Chains A and B, each alone.
Chain A
Amino acid sequence: MTLRKYFKVYSKFLHTSLASELEYKTNILIDLITAILSLIGSIFLLSIFFQNAGSIRGWDFEQALIIQGIYTILNGITNTWFNPNLTEIVKHVREGTLDFVLLKPIDSQFFISLKKIAPSGFLEIILGFCLLLYCIKINQINLNLSFLTLCFITIICSICILYSLWFFISTTTIWFVKTWNATEVLRSFLYIGRFPLNSFSFSLRIFFSVFIPIAFITTIPSEAFLGLSQLWKILLEVFVAMVFLFTSRKFWVFALKFYSSASS
């Protein structure tokens, strides 16, 4: 019953946000062009890195393209769901409209995380998958069920980690009110995820694995695609994703106790 209700509500979310976005046709067109140009620019940048060196710390250009593909998918998901919803939390808290969310008989985290979608991000997701398909072909990767399951699990875990990090930062807005900059810093770190983790120095590798787990977000799924990943790494990613999701949930519930609503 509850699950059915949540599906029904989500289909309404999809419908209303698509209808809202389609009110501004030019804006959608510009977003679509930006997504294509951004991907072309990123591949061009990557090709410059690999122009003189055949490979960087064991990764050649064709393999690095997989990371780019995963990054593009994640960026598309970010632009479709995280950006329109999670950045709104700051606005909701500042203007006091979080009141309306909290008074609805529905999970507030579900509502606040999924109410809007930006359809232009879909193109990035499609482009990312196209790039991955191309990479599978040029890297001569054999497609089988276990390979697809592993890839799927690692990508889902990456989405969960990224979402939890972003949601965690946005939640702090209940105390600090304005945290736009923190989510921007997170986005900047995500750009780093376009390059293999091995290409960074040891200290940076530790930093991007422990403090800001960019490594888990793009590198581990890429390794899974190339069949290079070890089982412990995948299990670790699943564990990290679960811990992040659980913590973000608990943190949200805890933070709401301190919500004081905006003055009228």
Chain B
Amino acid sequence: MVKNIIDVRNLSKSFDISSKDPGLKGTIKHFFRRKTKSLKVIKNISFEIKEGEVVGFLGANGAGKTTILKILCGLIYPSEGSILVSGYLPFRRKENFLKNITLIMGQKQQLIWDLPPIESFYLNASIYDLDKFEAKKRIKKLSEMLEIDEELFIPVRKLSLGQRMKSELLAALIHEPNILFLDEPTLGLDINAQRNLRKFLQKYNKETNATICLTSHYMKDITSLCKRVICVHNGTISYDGELDQLLKKLSPVKEILIVCQSEEDAIKLENSGFTVVNKNKNEITIKIKNNSITSSLKAILNNFEIEDLYINEPPIDEIIGKILIKKDYDL
């Protein structure tokens, strides 16, 4: 049985937030008497993650995804609840715990700006107590996986965003952590760079069985990496389960474009009881429930003269968008 590597029970986190009225009067008032209120950003959530799992955290901006990641890696103290990551209380930041994890943030960098990435790698290697030989071996292996070579010897400030992100990954993985916390790792990257990064993460997960917790606003990151998603809405978990199941729940029907051999066939099909979305001469678009798609298509192919047929999956961004904007979406 695969063991739980992350165990979160009744976690809550509150922050003191100050608010300011607009205008000069508001500014002066804010300077002398600051109005602060306690804001509960994470509200009594519980979940567990198994070793080797890749879990995507979905949610709108400000939903609490990054706060959860930061609590899990020990950067932020929780207000209530219990958390165990790899058997450790994360906020104690014990040396062995820190050697087991890594945090990669798409919009922040740890590489030394004026020096080639290789210098930062060796610095990190010394912090993680790796000898020169071992560090060299790991850098070689990871740079091959990430397909970077010459870039290792060019100052960071001269690298493209994609090259920099790959180097950031290498710097963050040199100690071969078991748990990766990735906060929007593909932010700002072009399509090819995003694809390469995803390919690398898939390969890394497969080869090392590392657990990956990922937040991203690019749905492609989620669909190609995560089997399981946790949807966060206003600090609570609105869904925790397989991505496929979520998509089925949110989009129970598929649209099917059928090109009939004649217009008469299209009329016959229109009157056969299917929900019609659109009809244009011999082309007709109908909606079919996911659970009856095989039987319905079989009946159509048997009873009508069909020239061509297209099954349109609804765009995933659109489906996920629904749970991000609708506050009371029932999952």
A23 B155 Cβ-Cβ under 8 A: yes
Query: Known: A9-B127, A260-B15. Is A97-B108 also a contact (CB below 8 A)?
Result: yes
Interface size class of B (residues with CB under 8 A): 35 or more
Q: Which residues of B contact A5 (CB under 8 A)?
A: 126, 129
- Asked whether, in the complex, the Cβ of A264 is within 8 Å of the Cβ of B77, the reply is no
Instruction: For B265, list chain A residues within 8 Å (CB).
Output: none
Is there contact, CB below 8 Å, between A102 and B76? no
Q: Which of A105, A261, A263 contacts B127 (CB 8 A)?
A: A105
Instruction: Tell me whether A103 and B66 are in contact in the complex, defined as CB-CB below 8 angstroms, given that A20-B112, A264-B184 are known contacts.
Output: no
Is B93 an interface residue, CB under 8 A from the partner? yes
User: Could you tell me if A103 and B103 are in contact, using CB atoms closer than 8 angstroms?
Assistant: yes
Once A16-B115, A264-B66 are accepted as A-B contacts, the answer to whether A105 and B99 lie under 8 Å apart by CB is yes
Known: A23-B114, A259-B76, A264-B184. A9 touches B108 (CB 8 A): no
Taking the closest CB of chain B, its distance from the CB of A119, in whole angstroms, is 14
Expressed in whole angstroms, the Cα–Cα distance for A23 and B129 within the complex equals: 28
Q: How many residues of A contact B (CB 8 A)?
A: 27
**Is A264 a contact partner of B73 (Cβ separation < 8 A)?**
no
Residues on B with beta carbons closer than 8 Å to the beta carbon of A16: 112, 115, 119-120, 123
Flag if B76 contacts A261 (CB, 8 Å): yes
Closest to B125 in A: A12
Interface string of B79-116 (1 = CB under 8 A from A): 00000000000000101101101110111111011110
Within 8 Å of chain B (Cβ to Cβ): is A250?
Answer: no
Smallest CB separation, B304 vs chain A (Å): 53
By a CB distance below 8 angstroms, the chain B residues around A263 are: 66
In angstroms, how far is the closest chain B Cβ from the Cβ of A195? 36
B74 beta carbon closer than 8 Å to chain A: yes
Interface residues of A in 97-154 (CB under 8 A from B): 97, 99-100, 102-106
Q: Are A260 and B76 in contact (CB under 8 A)?
A: yes
Q: Which of B105, B106, B115 contacts A99 (CB 8 A)?
A: B105
Q: List 9 A-B contacts (CB under 8 A).
A: A8-B126, A13-B123, A20-B114, A97-B110, A100-B103, A103-B93, A257-B77, A260-B76, A263-B66
Which residues of A are interface residues toward B (Cβ below 8 A)?
5, 8-9, 12-13, 15-16, 19-20, 23-24, 95-97, 99-100, 102-106, 257, 259-261, 263-264
